[in-house]
Homo-oligomer: A and B are copies of this chain.
């Protein structure tokens, strides 16, 4: 090894696994796209979210929203009317997560072309 491996930023043992679990939960395609949709649109209905996140299935949207609700990122409000009306909004915790991901979003926009070029290069090599 060339560098002293930093296996943790924390001094508490066993935290690594927990952080990895949380990262694994949060670093999910649909979670991230739903988060962004809620960040952009504020309080949003289920059907509007389905439209705002292109390509997501109803099942994945439901499942993702449930996970995010359980993790405390999203607050779910049911209006007992007919037809049913349910809307979702970010909690402060969820908004904080969105802010943390903001730099990733900016990176993605800034490096779209670079990645495209790298792929073309790789595919051309073999």
Measured between C-beta atoms, what is the minimum distance from A109 to chain B in Å?
6
Question: B10 touching A109 by the CB < 8 A rule?
Answer: yes
Q: Determine the distance from Cα of A123 to Cα of B28 in the docked complex, in whole angstroms.
A: 22
* Interface status of A97 (Cβ within 8 A of chain B): yes
In the complex, the answer to whether B28 meets A33 with C-beta atoms within 8 Å is no
Range, interface on chain A:
35 or more
* A71–B108 touching, CB < 8 Å: no
Residue numbers of A with Cβ under 8 A of B are 1-3, 5-7, 9-10, 15, 17-20, 22-24, 26-29, 31-33, 36, 40-43, 52, 54-55, 69-72, 93, 96-97, 99-109, 111-112, 114-115, 117-119, 121-123
